[in-house]
Structures are given as C-alpha cells and as structure tokens.
Homo-oligomer: A and B are copies of this chain.
C-alpha cells in the first residue's frame, strides 16, 4: 500500500545541549516520509525553493520516496531555527521563515490518486481539507496539527477533524483543543469532534491511543505504547513526525487493520521516534535497517512485558 503525505519540507538550524547544526534537512513531511519509508511506499506533496538541491533530493531518493509531488518554486524553502538548551522536551523558536511555503498550493500528481493512505501533516487546515477532498479514494486518513491552528484557525481545523480517521497530537494540544485539563475527558471531547481515533503523544513517556467505539482502532480501552528511556537524546526535532511515520507506515503495510495491528503500529511509532532523537535532524532516520527497527520493537515489547 502507498501513503501520500502532504506537509512541509524545510531547512532547520537547531541548537541542543549536544551541539548545533545549520540548515539541515527538516520539515514534518520529511521526517514522516523517511520513517514511513521503512514500511511502505511513500509519496510526498510539498513545495521547496531554489536551495533544495541534489543533496536533499538524494536523501529522499535513497529511501525510494516518490518526489513527483514536490513542487520547486522560485525563492527559498521554509526555514526554522530553534533551540532546546533549557528543556529537551520543548523547543524555543528563534525564527520561522515561511518563504515559498507561505503561498503553498498543494498539487496532487495523478500518479498519487490511488493512494489508500493519506497523511495530512501539520499545515494550514484549509490546505489539509482541500487535499483530503481531492483524494476521496483514501480509506484511512490521519493528520496532525499544532497550537497555532488550534488557537487562531479553530473553525477551519474543526472541518478537517470531521474527515479524519486518526488525529495524532501531543498532550498540550489535546488539552488546548478540548479546553479540558483532564486527558481522558479531553480525549473524549476531541473524539466527539470527528476522528475515530486519537493518538496522544507524550514525548519521552510514549503515547496513548483513545477511540470512539470498541469496534474501532486498538480495542475497547485506551492503549499505551511506552518509549524506551534513552541514554542519549541529541536532538528531539522531528520525533513526533517520525512517530506518525512509523505508526502510519506500519498500518499501510498490513493486509488487515485489526486492533492488534493498531497496537503494533503504536509501538512502531514509538520506535521510529526513539531513533530520530539519537542524532541531529534526519541523520539517524536516513540509515536504519528493518532489522534494527524490529530489534528495538522487541526491546519496547520487553520494557512493559510482565511474564
């Protein structure tokens, strides 16, 4: 099965206690695509500027990611600069230059139209909705968002949520979207907005899946995938998008979307997020093997296995 993902492809300058990197390849669609590419075919819809060259293309090509939907526009690519010096769990943003991304009009190649899986990464909900409507054949649609859209573009976001099967956001976003500090109550309120399943990402503590009905998703009760306590966290950038890529990529690789498949997908999401943070930017995600991924899946299983 193939996933089409729409989102940002960007350059990031990042500072963490482990060091600094200038203008490394980043963006939600980049992390998502690389993570998902270990499980299934991935097709990207994005826009980049003149600064996106052969080196960056080679990263996608090495993972056989379909780039026909990456539009090249005159100008510079989306640029983000941030640091995690005080707190590895929360980035301090120093610069966000939308550049060509500011006028992004997603264009869907005909070759993408048979994708059965669609991922709407964190972009303007108006664009998310447009892409979703242009791809009615997608049978499982998942998406992400962020505090900016929740606060200032709520109505557009609510329209997107109606068309989502799975929403993946973090604790703070869940509480903000629902206006409720209790995570379980907040999750129920978000599920009432449309998605059949809500995956709340807890950073270093893993993620929890909630769902509307017993027949959907992971089963009748919430399901928690742990995260491995990591010796070395070099750079948290992209961990959440890598979680989404591992989660959705694994689902797209499955013949049947059983509750057990959703639970394993949660673990694969945690696994891919845990690799990403071990190196700067996409460094670690570029050079994994499926064997390394499955070995870590085994570690995660052991981490909470009772007997």
Contact = CB atoms under 8 A, between A and B. Distances in A.
Contact of A304 (B88, B210, B225): B225
Contacts of A224: 226, 229, 303-304
Copies of this protein in the complex: 2
A95 interface: no
Q: Chain A contact residues (Cβ within 8 angstroms of B): what range? A: 35 or more
A185 to B, nearest CB: 7
Interface string A192-235: 00000000001011101010000000000111111011111100
Interface string A176-196: 000001111101000000000
A226 B229 contact: no
A172 to B, nearest CB: 13
Nearest to A263: B306
Contact of A221 (B223, B230, B299): B299
Nearest to A228: B222
B307 A232 contact: no
B301 A88 contact: no
Contact of A183 (B187, B222, B229, B301): B229
A230 to B, nearest CB: 6
A306 B228 CA distance: 16
A184 B230 contact: yes
A260 interface: yes
Contact of A205 (B205, B221, B230, B302): B205
B221 A303 contact: yes
Contact of A264 (B181, B263, B306): B306
Interface of A: 17, 88, 181-185, 187, 202, 204-206, 208, 210, 221-226, 228-233, 260, 263-264, 267, 299, 301-307
